[in-house]
Chains A and B, each alone.
Chain A
């Protein structure tokens, strides 16, 4: 009987048909990122390096492995792994708009400048501009991004509000080599300030009339001011002139412009004198008014920046430079001076202008809100559609899998039926054999009766007994087979009904899934 069990296993062994050459496994192992050369810490890729992360595990304190493939401008990125000392996060560098990957959102393609404090996801396509190991991340000291919520100057406030508009941005940023927070208007000057020199918060989002009404009050410390007007249409020569003019005043000045198609698009400058040092950056402007403020001794107090509408509504500025001592005096209440040279015709005019600005700002804010809401709705729609499509696909795949399983189950029932037929056939063959043996016994008995001598009769008798033993043996086998077949048939019946039940349930489930998929599709189309 042990032989029988061995035949079952033999059958099992011969039924195995998976074919997977060792070379396939070898390739799998050799292509695993574990064997890739690690990228040295602090390695910076060229801007625009694109990697598709196909395998990634983020474990605190462990090695971060990823397989970088796809279009990369740097070949080594395709065969490298990155070791990170801690969790890896992704965010842009030196900008307030920081796209950070959240668990819920997995953008297919996002641009990142830095790897820092965020979780990456598998199959995330990342365009990496700088890959820097965490412990070698530079401390951002050069021109840090000012915190928008901390902006307190009317000009900055206004500039920030304009930033929220879809077009026509005016951005003014301040930078300094010190760790001092950015200061409004008088920002980033190393000369010590008293708190009274800082602008108060405006009462309305717009430029407050307070500044306008106090414009004539001189700043007690500001004795001199040099004002320069720069337009987007100006050339480099104009900037050089300004720089020269400042240098003539004893300042170390460095004013640089970025020109695009002959238009001045950005202005970056630095004005130094002794220990005072002020830098500024202005972008997206039509006109900029730069006021360099000095005290009696000629020490640098700061630089005021006013651009576009700030200038436009305060004063109709023409293309001209302003001479010294034109700065209006700030009020004793320590409100810093508005842009130098400001001289409103009437208060009424200012009030009207302020109202106009307030209205405009309201309209723009409403527009911005509407656009944001629209964008949000569009994004929600898009994500809902994508989720629905994925759901439909998943349901259809499940339904297909279930159908295939049901088919397999039905085929297995057929196999069982075939086995039953075979068993019956074997029993039938045994019965035929027994019948033949019986006939042989009958013939032998006849021969024995006809035997002339007792010796022959005895010999035939022995043959008869042998055949009868064979008949008996076969009968036993047949009975055994019958009982086994009956038992197996019962088992099969039981199994068959279970399988049929499963098949029915599975088919039903598949049908429901298909209906669900269809409904989802239809609702999607509508």
Chain B
């Protein structure tokens, strides 16, 4: 980012951020599985991104920058939560996967299956299916090549189907 006054930085940040606000919110909710926690995470991500905006050299990389912060913030929060509650990570993680009363069993099963995927695959699926990003945008967020993103999505879907018991039965005759 070119040298600018703090006020200009704020304005520029808002311009860059506005188009992805909804996507980030949805992504955060899918990650935290709780609307209030999602809002908290979004606030944290926004403030951290704003404070570190001067480190962003190319505005085209804003998506990767923002979602990278979101990923790190979520990891930190999860670790902090585990420390605060003094519960074993595994128990906490499992408990978090369980849906609230308002969620359908399908969503609960999907969350559980998603949690079993490698982090990158899970993230790619959420960015594509929940945040509504294109393959190219996911490439910008996750880095790597376009075919890498496609492969991640394909493998993620296959694993999900397997975990959800949706695999097609072997065709006979």
Contact = CB atoms under 8 A, between A and B. Distances in A.
Interface of A: 1-2, 4-5, 7-9, 11-13, 15-20, 22, 25-26, 28-30, 32, 34-36, 398, 401-402, 405, 408-409, 411-412, 414-416, 418-419, 480, 484, 487-488, 498-499, 502, 505-506, 509
Contacts, number: 142
Interface string B100-140: 11111111111100000000000000000110000000000
B115 to A, nearest CB: 13
24 contacts: A1-B167, A5-B160, A7-B106, A8-B160, A12-B130, A15-B103, A17-B35, A18-B28, A18-B35, A18-B39, A29-B10, A29-B17, A29-B46, A34-B10, A35-B6, A402-B85, A408-B100, A409-B98, A412-B98, A412-B100, A412-B108, A415-B99, A418-B105, A506-B87
Interface residues of B, number: 56
A11 B165 contact: no
A2 B161 CA distance: 8
Given A402-B85, A409-B95, A502-B95, A11 B10 contact: no
A484 B94 contact: no
A63 to B, nearest CB: 10
B18 A29 contact: no
B47 A22 contact: no
B32 to A, nearest CB: 9
Contacts of B17: 25, 29
A505 B17 CA distance: 43
Nearest to A57: B51
Dominant SS among interface residues on chain A: helix
Contact of A487 (B101, B102, B104, B165): B165
Contacts of B38: 18, 20
Contacts of B108: 412, 415
Nearest to B128: A9
A12 B129 contact: yes
Contact of B21 (A15, A22, A34): A22
B110 A12 contact: yes
Question: For chain B, what secondary structure do more than half of its interface residues adopt (helix, strand, loop), or is it mixed?
Answer: helix
Contacts of B18: 22
B42 A20 contact: yes
A498 B98 CA distance: 11
B161 A398 contact: no
A483 to B, nearest CB: 10
A35 B7 contact: yes
A7 to B, nearest CB: 8
Contacts of A13: 26, 129-130
Given A8-B109, A19-B35, A409-B98, A32 B161 contact: no
A12 B30 contact: yes
